[in-house]
A = this chain, B = another copy of it.
Amino acid sequence: MYLFQCDYNKMCHPAVLAKLNESENLSMVGYGKDDACAVAAEMIRNLCDAKDAYVHFLSGGTQTNLTVIAASLRPYQAVVAAESGHISEHETGAIEATGHKVITLPPEEGKISAKQVKDIVELHYTPTGPGPEHTPQPKLVYISMSTEMGTVYSLAELEEISAVCKAYGLFLYVDGARLGYALASKGNDVTLKDLARLCDAFYIGGTKQGAMFGEAVVITNPLIASDFRYMIKQRGGMLAKGWLMGLQFVALLEDDLYFKISARANEMADRIRETIKAAGFALTAVNPTNQVFAIMPDVVLDELSKSFMFTEWCRIDAQNRLVRFCTSWATCESDVDMLCAAIRHFGKGD
C-alpha cells in the first residue's frame, strides 16, 4: 500500500530521532525550563527576528489553539474564523469548551479576507438590535497557514488582515500546523519575520512537519504572553519532559531542515497535481503546498484505493468524489511515481 492519506503517519524525521537518541542520557530540568527548549526558542526568535518574542512548546495543535485563545480573551469575546477553519470544524468544540464563540465566515478556497473581518466587526459595533453587548464581541482573528485547503495567504493579504485587526483592536493568530509547507511553497512571499511582525501569536507546527509531536508557539503580544505558563499548565499542555519538544525543534531547525523537507513534500505534491491535471481530472483549491485536492470518478477512485491510501473529502455528485492526496517528509519518490502512473493510466485521455 502506498500512503498519501495524511502527513502524520510516520514517527518522525530521522534527524529528529537521532537527536533524541543522542540525548538519551542527559538529565534535564522539567516542565520546559530546560536548555533544549531555551536553545530552540532562541533559534526561533532569531529566525523571526523577534528578540522579545515568547516561545513555548505544546504537545499538539488543538491544545495549542485552545490555550492561546483562552489566554487571549475575556469571557464575552469571540474568535473570528473561516467556516472551514480547524477550530471551527475539527476540534470537537474545544474553543467553545473554553467559553468562547467561534464566529464563522464563508471562506474562499480556505481563506478569509480583511474585508470580511472588517465587516463582521463593524456589524458588531453598529447593530440594529438593542446594543452590541447582546452579541459576543469579536476579538481574535484565527487563520491557518497553510489553510485546510492547502492554500497560502499572500503577504499583501496578511498585511491587510493585520491592519484591520490593529485598527479595531483585535488579535491576529495564525494556526501553523502546516506552516513549513506554506512558507516553503512556490510563490510564497511570507516569512517567519512577517508573521512575527504582523501577528500577535502564531505557531510553528511540528507534528505534521516531521516531529513526533510538539508545536512551537510564538507570542509577540505581551497581553497574551503574560503568565502563559499558567495557561499551559492549567489546560494540560505542559509536559513534564518538555525538553523532548525542545530537542525535536532543534533538530528540525538546524540547517533549515524544516524548510527543506517542506519544500520537497511540496514538490512531490506538485508532481501529483500536474499528473492529475494532465490526466484530465479536476483539481480544486489549487495550491502550492503538500495537500492535493482532486475530483475524480468513483470508478477511478475505487481502483486507486486498492493500492493507494488517500482521504475522502466529500461527494461531489452521483459519479464523482473529492479526495485528498497528502505528501510529507516521509513520502518516497518511488511511491509518487507509482501514484502518478496509476492516475495517468486511469486518466480521461488514456
Q: What separation, in Å, do the CA atoms of A21 and B12 have in the docked complex?
A: 10
A102 and B88 CA atoms in complex are apart in Å by: 11
Contact residue among B96, B208, B238, B240 (Cβ-Cβ distance under 8 Å from A99): B96
How distant is the Cα of A191 from the Cα of B339 in the complex, in angstroms? 52
A349 within 8 A of B: no
Q: Which of B30, B67, B131 contacts A8 (CB 8 A)?
A: B30
Known contacts A212-B241, A227-B76, A312-B128, A9 near B31 by CB under 8 Å: no
Q: Does the CB pair B135–A92 fall under 8 Å?
A: yes
Answer yes or no: A246 CB below 8 A from chain B CBs: no
Q: Are A66 and B21 in contact (CB under 8 A)?
A: no
| A 26-47 to B, binary, CB cutoff 8 A, 1 in contact else 0 | 1111110100000000000000
Q: Are A71 and B74 neighbours in the complex by a CB distance under 8 Å?
A: yes
User: Of residues A3, A100, A134, which shows the largest number of chain B Cβ atoms within 10 Å of its Cβ?
Assistant: A134
- Most chain B beta-carbon neighbours within 10 Å: one of A23, A71, A233, A314: A233
Of the listed stretches A55-63, A108-116, A181-189, name the one at the interface; the rest are far from the partner chain: A55-63
- B23–A90 touching, CB < 8 Å: no
Q: What number of A residues sit within 8 Å (CB to CB) of B? A: 81
The answer to whether A17 has its CB under 8 Å from any CB of chain B is yes
Residues of B within 8 A of A29 (CB): 9
The answer to whether A75 and B97 touch across the interface, beta carbons within 8 angstroms, is: yes
CA distance A196 to B60 in the complex (A): 30
Q: List 22 A-B contacts (CB under 8 A).
A: A8-B241, A9-B27, A9-B29, A9-B30, A10-B27, A11-B24, A11-B28, A63-B237, A71-B74, A76-B97, A78-B96, A90-B135, A91-B134, A92-B134, A97-B99, A101-B102, A128-B314, A133-B233, A137-B227, A213-B239, A213-B240, A235-B235
List 6 tightest A-B contacts by C-beta distance, closest first.
A63-B236, A76-B230, A93-B136, A92-B234, A93-B101, A133-B229
| Bound form: Cα–Cα A89–B97 in Å | 18
Q: How many copies does the complex hold?
A: 4
Give the B-binding residues of A (Cβ under 8 A): 3, 6, 8-12, 14, 17, 20-21, 23-31, 33, 59-64, 66-67, 70-71, 74-76, 78, 89-94, 96-102, 128-137, 207-208, 212-213, 227, 229-241, 244, 311-314
A239: chain B residues at CB < 8 Å are: 59-60, 207, 213
Best-buried of A11, A20, A75, A129 by chain B (most CB within 10 Å): A75
